[in-house]
Structure 1
Amino acid sequence: MKNKSYIGLSFVVLVFGIIFIPKIINRIKSDTVVQGDRLDAVSNHKKGETGLVTIGPVPKFELTDQNEIMVSNKTYLGKVYVVEFFFTTCPSICPIMNRNMIDIQNNFFGNPNFGIASISIDPEHDTPKVMKEHAKILGVKSSNWHFLTGDKDYIFNIANKGFNLYAGEDKNVNGGFEHSGFFALIDKKGNIRCRKDKFGNPILYYDGLDKKGVKAITEDIKKLLNE
């Protein structure tokens, strides 16, 4: 009986070797030895996929740009774009954000599928004329970079409830306004997108004051342009 058991076991081993060992060797050669069907579904991105998280649709907006042209979220459909909230007389973080946005512009200058929306939180001062002069001083070259102004309450609603990016008026602070220093990244279909942090959590927005944040959003703009 023992001999028959050994013979049966040997036969099973032989069959396993004939069928499966060549497949294992091929997987080792192709560096896919740990991949099964479920792992393949997670780790193998289809062409054009970025690995970026979709947060949700961009809030609807319609505002006037520096050329007195009405611009809305629909204007940007088909384009990857970045949104910021700022004001031209800001004495603190806005100049840093503006310089970093210029760097982003220069990285994608000439690409018709990239744009920027800079929305003023001090629209009573930041008229189209003021915004146009501000854009000139900054060195804005892109025709797809719109400096947007409109009703103050409407803009605060877009910032605070639409994007969840804080903007407020405070006469006790230098400049009279407070706002977030983050940039929002929007894809061609009008969805807010972002990468994940080292813990796997969506970062939501990109730090517009930090070179690392600017580097990250620049990398992710390139990914979305190729989607």
Structure 2
Amino acid sequence: MKNKSYIGVSLIILIFGIIFIPRIIDKVRNNDIVEQDRLNVKDKEKTRDAGKMVYIEQYGEKKRVPDFSFVNQHGDTITNRDYLGKVYVIEFFFTTCPSICPIMNRNLIDVQNEFKGEDDFGIASFTIDPEFDTPEVLRAYAENYGVTNPNWNFLTGDREKIYELANAGFGIYAGKEETAPGGFAHSGLFALIDKEGYVRSRTDSHGNPIIYYRGYIEQNKSITEGQETPQIDILMEDINNLL
């Protein structure tokens, strides 16, 4: 009886080896099986998707730039339709900002210079202090920073409409706040818009859209202290991809 049991067990092992071992070898060759402490297959797929350009969706639909109409630094009326056919960056700022705006706009000057001579690239900078930031003030500000791109408009107009565009239209906070530096609070984020007027971004290492691009980091704080880095380099890459 014992000999029969040994024979039965041996047959099972032989059948297992014939059927399954070649499959296991194939999986190892195809990198489908990895060490336990490495990413699983789904995580590897997400990692491969990092940096992929995607549309931002809201309520199941691709998010478009809301309609807007404001006056630029030259006294001309500029609308979202003027940017159709162009890839452009949107920011919210104010000229007397003592904190993040100078950093953001110096970074945008670098972006401008990277795409010098590119007719299909532009920037739209909306002031959140339109009472002070008249077209004349905005023109002087643009000249001081070295703005040369003819498609970079510094826009002013009705304050409530600008705040509605920032807060409801983009979800980029802007508002009057007495305790904030300069009396106004806003985020240091840039939005990227494609030639058809859709909000676009890249995906992170988890496959999720980053939505907006960080335009600055706080001064006197190092990355080792947990401070995130600005995303100007990847913004330039994504502008180039959309162009």
Tell me the residue number matched to 2:220.
none
Decide whether aligned partners of structure 1 residues 176 and 212 sit closer, same or farther in structure 2, where only a CA change above 3 A counts. closer
Q: TM-score, normalised by structure 2?
A: 0.72
Paired residue for 1:207?
Answer: 214
Structure 1 residue 215, shift from structure 2 partner: 0.5
The Cα offsets for residues 128-160 of structure 1, whole Å up to 9 and x where unpaired, read as 000000000000011110000000001000000
Deviations 1:30-54 (A, max 9, x none): xx999xxxxxxx9xxxxxxx93111
Structure 2 contact 90–125 (Cα < 8 Å) conserved: yes
Q: 2:69 aligned with 1:62, yes or no?
A: yes
> What percentage of residue pairs aligned between the two structures are identical?
53
Distance 2:169 2:79 in 1: 14
Partner residue in 2 for 1:95: 102
SS at 1:183 equivalent? strand
1:180 corresponds to: 187
Q: 2:142 aligns with which of 135, 147, 155?
A: 135
Asked whether 1:75 is paired with 2:76, we answer: no
Q: TM-score, normalised by structure 1?
A: 0.77
Gaps (5+ residues) in structure 1?
1-27, 35-41, 43-49
| Structure 1 runs of 4+ with >4 Å offset | none
SS of match in other structure, 1:57: coil
Query: Are 2:159 and 1:152 aligned?
Result: yes
SS in 1 for 2:181: coil
Deviations 1:16-40 (A, max 9, x none): xxxxxxxxxxxx9xxx999xxxxxx
Q: Which residue of 1 aligns with 2:54?
A: 53
Partner Cα distance (2:118, 2:190) in 1: 20
RMSD: 2.0
2-side partners of 1:111 and 1:154: how far apart? 30
Which AA in structure 2 matches 1:147? F
Name the CA distance, whole Å, in 2 between partners of 1:171 and 1:146: 27
Report deviation, 1:109. 1.2
CA contact (8 A) 2:215 2:230 kept: no
Aligned pairs, number: 183
Q: Which residue of 1 aligns with 2:128?
A: 121
Q: Does 1:221 align with 2:221?
A: no
Structure 2 gaps, min length 5: 1-28, 33-44, 46-50, 57-62, 218-228
Distance in 2 between the 1:215 and 1:33 partners?
32
Shift, 1:164, TM fit? 0.4
Match of residue 23 from structure 1: none
